[in-house]
């Protein structure tokens, strides 16, 4: 990879899912901006889709962080007993609209692909045209916490269920593909797998990574900060930490590339 190419060729950006760990994507975006590197097309799943939409809407880094800090994960009047899931995802519509004030994909400043999972058909669906907010809500609707979103007479949920690292929409769309993956795997010790929750979390992470490993390796440049695995997927207290980890990691990768050039 030639550093000059990153500044002169068309860039596609893949943003994985990963909940709060996705704040590392925002750190990576800051590092890219500081090195005068900008993507023209983005594909994202779950948290990556939300950050991709903010980026495609030209929101600055502070606004991106504010969106996640100020959006409540659990709010009493958002709880639901009429839908599957604990929280009614569609109640977040107005909050999303405040930070992503675009009516459609076409009104964004960059091309965006949002991955969702169609629960009834059992397949992934990618949205890139038409109404914007509902597909974003669906892509981030992590079961069983958040209810699926109803669109087109079907139910849609978290894009990461079927495709957590969506490189496919970028084929033929960009000369260079940069991947930011926060669903990472590090070696753990036995003390870190002592409960059923820890066991389930570890095995899910391993499955997700195994499915996407080859796609990650096929990217021209990858940001993959292993330290984010220490941060809980729904732990809002980890927002700043994940952001800083992502920024530090991406800065090191880019500086190493620049020095080799």
Structure confidence at residue 192 (pLDDT):
84
Task: Mark whether 60 is an active-site residue.
Answer: no
Task: Mark whether 256 is an active-site residue.
Answer: no
Structure confidence at residue 207 (pLDDT):
86
Enter the pTM of the model: 0.93
3-260: CATH superfamily: Cytosolic phospholipase A2 catalytic domain (3.40.1090.10)
Query: Which residue ranges of the chain lie beneath pLDDT 50?
Result: none
For residue 180, the cross-strand partners are 15, 223
The DSSP line for 111-175 is EEEEEEEETTTTEEEEE-SSB-HHHHHHHT--TTTBPPEEETTEEEEEGGGT-SS--GGGTTT-S
Domain ranges of the chain: 3-260
Structure confidence at residue 131 (pLDDT):
97
Structure confidence at residue 50 (pLDDT):
97
CA-closest candidate to residue 219, choices 253, 256, 255? 253
Structure confidence at residue 88 (pLDDT):
92
Structure confidence at residue 185 (pLDDT):
80
Structure confidence at residue 234 (pLDDT):
84
Active-site residue, from 16, 45, 46, 147:
46
Active-site residue, from 139, 158, 180, 251:
158
Structure confidence at residue 75 (pLDDT):
67
């Amino acid at each position: 990879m030639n550093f000059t190419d990153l500044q002169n060729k068309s860039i596609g950006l893949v943003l994985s899912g990963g909940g709060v760990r996705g704040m590392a994507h925002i750190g990576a975006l800051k590092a890219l901006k500081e090195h005068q590197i900008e993507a023209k097309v983005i594909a994202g799943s779950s948290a990556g889709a939300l950050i991709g939409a903010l980026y495609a809407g030209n929101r600055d880094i502070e606004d991106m962080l504010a969106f996640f800090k100020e959006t409540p994960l659990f709010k009493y009047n958002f709880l639901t007993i009429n839908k599957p899931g604990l929280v009614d995802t569609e109640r977040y519509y107005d909050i999303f609209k405040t930070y992503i004030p675009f009516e459609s994909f076409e009104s964004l400043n960059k091309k965006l692909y949002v991955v969702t999972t169609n629960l009834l058909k059992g397949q992934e669906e990618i949205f890139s045209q038409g109404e914007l907010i509902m597909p974003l809500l669906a892509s981030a609707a992590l079961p069983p916490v958040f209810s699926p979103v109803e669109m087109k007479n079907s139910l849609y949920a978290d894009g990461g269920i079927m495709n957590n690292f969506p490189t496919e929409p970028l084929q033929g769309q960009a000369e260079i593909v940069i991947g930011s993956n926060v669903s990472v795997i590090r070696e753990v010790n036995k003390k870190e797998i002592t409960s059923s929750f820890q066991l389930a979390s570890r095995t899910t992470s391993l499955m997700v990574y195994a499915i996407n490993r080859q796609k990650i390796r096929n990217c021209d440049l990858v940001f993959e900060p292993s330290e984010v695995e220490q941060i809980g997927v729904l732990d809002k207290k980890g927002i700043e930490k994940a952001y800083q980890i992502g920024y530090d990691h991406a800065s090191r990768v880019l500086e190493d590339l620049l020095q080799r050039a």
